[in-house]
A and B are shown apart, each in its own frame.
Chain A
Amino acid sequence: EVQLLESGGGMVQPGGSLRLSCAASGFNFNGYAMSWVRQAPGKGLEWVSGISVSGDTTYYADSVKGRFTISRDNSKNTLNLQMNSLRAEDTALYYCAKAVFSTGLFDNWGQGTLVTVSS
């Protein structure tokens, strides 16, 4: 059974940083692209960032480009998201999502970790 367990969320002041992690199990992690998708309270889904199988190619939404960095450690089955220069509009539940091979189609999602940016 595929399991994705996010961690690292919390409350941070504007301008601060957080590092999210996603521990993956139940599948061959180094065979699939991964992404982060967020959902602001009461709002819809927004794709944030994606990373290729090997980790050598990364993609970002314009809203986070230059502030967020996605990475993966295939030896530890872990996906990460380093978030810097956080803004109030980054407040959201952040989901880790497993892609169908190297596509942007997401067949498994974690339960999410909540990030709150507030002074």
Chain B
Amino acid sequence: DIVMTQSPDSLAVSLGERATINCKSSQSVLYSSNNKNYLAWYQQKPGQPPKLLIYWASTRESGVPDRFSGSGSGTDFTLTVSSLQAEDVAVYYCQQYYTTPYTFGQGTKLEIK
């Protein structure tokens, strides 16, 4: 199984500042035939189901604010919130969909400092 490891486990950032969450996979999730990274980011607010933010490592889902961006390739990925807003307080998960079993990172709790 591909193990997804996020860092840090929690993060406190001031409003308007940048937040960066890292995700590392135990093996590459880059599919060579199409040069796509099978890596997604989800946001989960309390009492709500997860919401898809980013897929193919860097493509924003429709309706997601452009302050959210994803980067990385192979085994190392980053989710960046360029200017933290109060509504961004949530737990963020990375997920690989390269192969079953599909696996998630343990989650990173993002809070306001």
Contact = CB atoms under 8 A, between A and B. Distances in A.
**Contact residues of A: prevailing secondary structure:** strand
Nearest to A4: B49
Interface of B: 1, 38, 40, 42, 44, 49-52, 55, 61, 93, 95, 97, 100-107
Given A50-B100, A104-B102, A44 B52 contact: no
**Contact residues of B: prevailing secondary structure:** loop
A45 B55 contact: no
Question: Which among A46, A106, A107, A110 has the greatest number of chain B C-beta atoms within 10 A?
Answer: A106
Interface in A40-83: 44-47, 50, 59-62
B49 to A, nearest CB: 4
A91 to B, nearest CB: 18
A111 B38 CA distance: 25
Given A47-B104, A104-B97, A111 B49 contact: yes
A59 B100 contact: yes
Contacts of A47: 100-104
